């Protein structure tokens, strides 16, 4: 490991088996943090953990569907057994499921989409807050420009990410006296497994010619900056890597 910016810190990263979550988890570990890796796919979590451990870091893995309250409760019990505190919570789990217009949408998929992008972050945050309130910490919620502007189609994703932004602001107002900051990170278009076939690094996405499609590692500097701000640093704010108004 190469540095100590996050020495003695414990970071919980959701959706850390691939994409942005994996890139951020590896970067946090490189700076000395102990990692708690959470995702639905155990094989991907094990790959992330192996990379961290091979580089001299420390990581534990917990497989869970974070939209399921019972599984989140079990996850929290496992976290409590292995660490006394969480210093950084990186709420990254999410994805787009129902892309149809409202009239043509599947209600079950629409609700599932909102749950993946909003309810999961609420459930994890609610469960982990007691491990942060005594010593303070950072909560970083991965949002989207689609949560700040309307558009036809993918309404569930718009609504879920809009809720994430409002959750960020409400929560920040509730926990600042505990030394906890809560901010939103908007990555802009990123080439991941979820966008395969539609985006490639270095080019524009199909919906915005001014944009530059990033790789997951391009999101790391902003995530690290937010994770290393002082307790009196920014809170209730949205920080964006986009190249267009949102």
Q: Which residues are catalytic?
A: 157
Pairing of strands 137-142, 10-14: unpaired
Q: Which of 87, 84, 79 is nearest to 63 (CA)?
A: 79
* Nearest-angstrom CA–CA distance, 190 and 95: 12
Calculate the alpha carbon distances from 225 to 125, 130, 152, 216 in Å: 21, 24, 34, 16
Q: Which residues contact 202 (CB under 8 A, 6 or more apart)?
A: 212, 213
* Nearest-angstrom CA–CA distance, 185 and 238: 6
Helix axes 19-30, 42-54, angle to 10 degrees: 20
Residue 95: count other Cβ atoms within 10 Å of its Cβ. Answer: 15
């Amino acid at each position: 490991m190469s540095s100590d910016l996050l020495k003695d810190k414990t970071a919980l990263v959701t959706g850390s088996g691939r994409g942005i979550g994996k890139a951020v988890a590896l970067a946090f570990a490189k700076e000395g943090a102990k990692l708690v890796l959470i995702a639905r796919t155990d094989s991907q979590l094990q790959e992330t953990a192996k990379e961290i451990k091979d580089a001299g870091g420390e990581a534990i893995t917990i497989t869970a569907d974070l939209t399921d309250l019972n599984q989140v409760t079990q996850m929290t019990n496992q976290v409590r057994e292995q660490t006394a505190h969480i210093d950084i919570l990186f709420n990254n789990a999410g994805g787009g499921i129902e892309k149809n217009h409202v009239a043509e949408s599947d209600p079950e998929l629409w609700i599932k989409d909102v749950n993946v992008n909003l309810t999961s972050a609420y459930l994890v945050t609610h469960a982990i807050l007691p491990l942060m309130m005594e010593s303070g910490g950072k909560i970083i919620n991965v949002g989207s420009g689609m949560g700040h502007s309307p558009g036809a189609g993918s309404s569930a994703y718009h609504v879920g990410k809009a809720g994430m932004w409002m959750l960020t602001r409400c929560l920040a107002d509730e926990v600042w006296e505990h030394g906890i900051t809560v901010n939103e990170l908007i990555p802009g278009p990123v080439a991941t497994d979820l966008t395969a076939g539609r985006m490639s690094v270095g080019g524009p996405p199909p919906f915005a010619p001014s944009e530059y499609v990033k790789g997951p590692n391009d999101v790391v500097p902003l995530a690290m900056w937010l994770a290393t701000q002082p307790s009196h640093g920014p809170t209730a704010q949205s920080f964006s890597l986009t190249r267009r108004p949102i």
